[in-house]
Amino acid sequence: MASTIIDSAIFQGIFSSDAMRAVWSDENRTQKYLDIEAALAKVQGQLGLIPQEAADEIISHCQLDQIDMAKLRQQTERIGYPILGVVSQLNLLCRDKLGEYCHWGATTQDITDTATVLQIREGLELVDAELAAISAALAKLCREHRDTPMIGRSNLQQAIPVTFGYKMAGLLSAVERHRERLAQLRPRVLVGEFAGAAGTLASLQTGAMDTQAALCAELGLAQPVIAWHTIRDNIAEVGAFLGLVGGTLGKLSMDVKLMMQTEVGEVFEPYAHGRGSSSTMPQKRNPISSCYIHAAISVVRQHAAALMDAMVADHERSTGPWEIEWIVLPEAFCLMAGALRQSRLVLEGLEVDVAAMRRNIDMTHGLVMSEAVMMGLGPYIGREYAHDLVYDICRAAVKEQRPLLDLLCEHPEINKHLDRPALAALCDPSNYLGQSGVMVDRVLDSLTQ
């Protein structure tokens, strides 16, 4: 019986993905415990710390299908942690009490933390793949619309012309920084944990550091410099990273929602029959993916804050903060998978209405070109005076419902310096796109190879 949006048979494909849900599933988590116990037995057998016969026997039973999951639930509810339940079951599965060598020198948090890191590694691979696809979709839009004029907006008001390629390039630059951040955080985060009760590995009188090094190598993780049982900046960094990615996806969804408004109509989410329709208003085409993105990333940001709270841990093994991670980390990854999937869907099939973009530029009859006119007049009458003069003319254009160009041409302090063709050039949006194209090219040139 599913009770969360992530596990819901109805909503799970909207707010998450099957691949990410599998990463954080009970089955994968438990198999990670078994993988670590098997790796630990293997390296300790090789180091002569436990009998090779015991190592072989333990490894032979580290398969999920040999674990009674119903029993593990009961054990976990009774004990409070699943690791002892797993170890107990392995012990009973092994012949001749060879299972007594399972978990040799380890503590519950060693196995739990290392399993979490292995899950994080798998989760980040899925995030990385989605970011790469989103980057490619944004790059395609940048190339196609490098020189497509649209109105830029400030405080939700029309400002000056930009290009749609420029708008997409801003998002693309952020996505590329996220990909760089992901590459940079991996060495800090993908680190194993094997340190014993209080982090000192006192449980192994010989071969302690050799075991730690070999275990981490076996699992493909870096060896920790020191125990991190209650030093949780690495996990919090993952949460912060997901929060940052979510912020960029939220920016994308916000702009798409605003541009999809009936009165704007510049872009539309991909069309599918009935998608985003209303139960009572047949004409509606709601920005449904953008709604899902907004909701998901808002929760992810709160989870990032919760992982910061989990850093405030007591002494060498914490009482409560650690369990915060159990709650929010899987959900943060799963919701992020949904937001990434919806963002990719939007970008790969985005419908761009170039004519509507031009229509919206022209709807003020030239007022959005006032800055261009002011700067063009500056060399003749001074920038500040030009600002005040054009401001007054703009107010008159609004009051009289006339094109800005006509009023400019009629003004004696202006027409003595610039004739109508010159003023028309200043009022042409295509002449006032600044370095939009150059900036788009720079972003595209910097893409991760």
For residues 335 and 369, membership in a common domain is answered with no
218-237 burial, b if ≥16 CB within 10 A, otherwise e?
Answer: bbebbebeebbbbebebbbb
Could you say which of 186, 285, 317, 402 is catalytic?
Answer: 317
Q: Using CB atoms within 10 A of its CB, is residue 320 exposed (0-12), middle (13-18) or buried (19+)?
A: exposed
9: in domain: no
DSSP-derived 3-state class of residue 153: strand
CATH of the domain at 208: 1.20.200.10
For residues 223 and 316, membership in a common domain is answered with yes
Final residue before a domain boundary, out of 298, 327, 358: 358
Q: What is the pLDDT of residue 280?
A: 74
Tell me which residue has tokens 């079951």.
89
- Residues 167, 255 contacting (CB under 8 angstroms): yes
For residues 313 and 442, membership in a common domain is answered with no
Cα gap 306→118, rounded to integer Å: 21
For residues 287 and 414, membership in a common domain is answered with no
Q: What is the residue range of 44's domain? A: 14-358
Query: pTM value?
Result: 0.94
List residues bridging with 351 in a β-sheet: 268
For residues 212 and 252, membership in a common domain is answered with yes
Could you say which of 177, 278, 383, 395 is catalytic?
Answer: 278
Instruction: Look at the chain and report how many structural domains it folds into.
Output: 2
- 319 Cα distance to chain centroid: 30
For residues 263 and 372, membership in a common domain is answered with no
Judge whether 370 counts as a catalytic residue: no
Judge whether 395 counts as a catalytic residue: no
- Residue of 33, 24, 84 lying closest to 61 (CA atoms): 33
Per-residue pLDDT of the chain (449 residues; tens, 9 = 90+): 888 889 889 988 889 999 999 999 999 999 999 999 999 999 999 999 999 999 999 999 999 999 999 999 999 999 999 999 999 999 999 999 999 999 999 999 999 999 999 999 999 999 999 999 999 999 999 999 999 999 999 999 999 999 999 999 999 999 999 999 999 999 999 999 999 999 999 999 999 999 999 999 999 999 999 999 999 999 999 999 999 999 999 999 999 999 999 999 999 999 877 666 666 777 768 899 999 999 999 999 999 999 999 999 999 999 999 999 999 999 999 999 999 999 999 999 999 999 999 999 999 999 999 999 999 999 999 999 999 999 999 999 999 999 999 999 999 989 989 999 999 999 999 999 999 999 999 999 999 65
- Residues 176, 447 contacting (CB under 8 angstroms): yes
For residues 383 and 291, membership in a common domain is answered with no
CATH of the domain at 389: 1.10.40.30
For residues 381 and 350, membership in a common domain is answered with no
157-163 and 267-268: which strand pairing?
A: unpaired
For residues 97 and 176, membership in a common domain is answered with yes
Token pair in block for residue 49: 């710390």
Tell me which residue has tokens 């988590």.
29
For residues 275 and 408, membership in a common domain is answered with no
For residues 97 and 25, membership in a common domain is answered with yes
6: in domain: no
Tell me the torsion sign for CA atoms 206, 212, 217, 222: negative
Final residue before a domain boundary, out of 330, 358, 386: 358
